[in-house]
């Protein structure tokens, strides 16, 4: 049991008085936040009304009634920002803010920021970026939900197509990180069939293809892919077929980016 002495609080007022915790709830560990009454362990004497009493088990009998725990409350996530850098692999950010600070040993606040990989297809002047040949850049199918389905005139965009691959290899880094935006990488497993959607704006209108989709390669070719959001998560796969729509389970469905 911790030892406390009667003393004045930071404000100079003496908090030692008779009665329970009514009107005497204190934040953190306050050695002067005390009174004389029954404790929660049914012992009569000095008891406390600060948040530290929960840990030291010397709260007054009515602490949880008079000083109920107040969990942190946060807002909904904001919309995702644009990519930090155009025409290259980059990151996007979304944030939320605290609407209620925690109190009386309530649940602490969660993370207020999330980052995820992304890629823009226009530069700051609005011109299309030049897309170089190279590995397929992929991310989770959830990313596609935020993509536009119509052009600026309201006309429907090309719905694209799907390419099925058999995963040949992946680096161990795909399972190292445990951030919300990297959990989808854990489902990239050797030997499984995966589906990857090719759709605007990743689809190049002049060729109706996506970078690294393997359309120009035969089925025996070993192709390379890289996960957006973790540059150390990469590997190889072989193309199985091109289909109109993706039919793989959600955890094995991705998009070209």
The pLDDT tens digits for 166-176 are 999 999 988 88
Contact 165, 194 (CB under 8 A): yes
pLDDT value at position 132?
A: 52
For the cut 50, the answer to whether the pLDDT of residue 17 exceeds it is no
Query: Which has the closest alpha carbon to 188: 245, 233, 219, 248?
Result: 233
Which range (15-19, 47-51, 120-124, 128-132) has the least confidence? 15-19
Peptide bond into 201 cis (omega under 30): yes
For the cut 80, the answer to whether the pLDDT of residue 161 exceeds it is yes
3-state helix, strand, coil in the chain (%, to 5): 10, 35, 55
For the cut 70, the answer to whether the pLDDT of residue 6 exceeds it is no
The pLDDT tens digits for 187-244 are 888 899 999 999 988 887 666 888 888 877 777 788 889 998 888 899 999 999 999 9
The pLDDT tens digits for 61-114 are 999 888 888 889 999 999 888 887 777 677 889 999 999 888 777 788 999 998
Domains of the chain (ranges, CATH numbers)? 16-68 (no CATH), 70-129 (2.20.100.10), 131-256 (no CATH)
Average pLDDT value over all residues in the chain: 82
149-180: burial string, b at 16+ Cβ within 10 Å, e else: eeeeeeeeeeebbbbbbebeebbeebbeeeee
Contact 67, 104 (CB under 8 A): yes
Average pLDDT over residues 177-189: 83
- What is the number of other CB atoms lying within 10 angstroms of the CB of residue 139? 22
pLDDT value at position 127?
A: 67
What's the predicted TM-score (pTM) here?
0.53
Query: Which has the closest alpha carbon to 257: 212, 194, 221?
Result: 212
Tracing tokens 């990313």 back to the chain, one arrives at: 143
pLDDT value at position 179?
A: 78
| φ/ψ (deg, to 5) at 22 | -55, 120
């Amino acid at each position: 049991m911790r030892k406390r002495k009667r003393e004045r609080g930071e404000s100079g007022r003496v908090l030692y008085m008779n009665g329970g915790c009514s009107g005497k709830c204190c934040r953190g560990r306050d050695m002067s936040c005390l009174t004389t009454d029954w404790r929660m362990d049914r012992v009569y004497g000095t008891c406390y009304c600060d948040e530290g009493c929960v840990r030291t088990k010397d709260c007054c009998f009515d602490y949880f009634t008079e000083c109920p725990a107040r969990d942190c409350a946060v807002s909904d996530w904001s919309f995702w920002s644009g990519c930090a850098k155009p025409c290259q692999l980059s990151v996007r950010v979304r944030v939320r803010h605290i609407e209620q600070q925690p109190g009386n040993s309530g649940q602490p606040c969660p993370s207020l920021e999330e980052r995820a990989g992304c890629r823009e297809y226009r530069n700051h002047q609005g011109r299309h970026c030049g897309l170089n040949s190279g590995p397929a850049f992929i991310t989770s199918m959830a990313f596609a939900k935020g993509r536009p389905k119509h052009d600026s005139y309201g006309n429907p965009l090309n719905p694209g197509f799907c390419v099925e691959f058999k995963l040949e290899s992946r680096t161990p880094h795909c399972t190292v990180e445990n951030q919300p935006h990297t959990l989808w990488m854990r489902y990239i497993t050797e030997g499984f069939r995966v589906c990857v959607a090719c759709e605007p704006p990743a689809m190049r209108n002049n060729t109706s293809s996506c970078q690294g989709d393997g359309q120009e390669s035969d089925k025996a070719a070993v192709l390379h892919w890289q996960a957006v959001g973790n540059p150390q998560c990469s590997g190889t796969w072989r193309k199985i077929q091109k289909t109109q729509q993706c039919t793989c389970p959600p955890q094995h469905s991705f998009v070209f980016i």
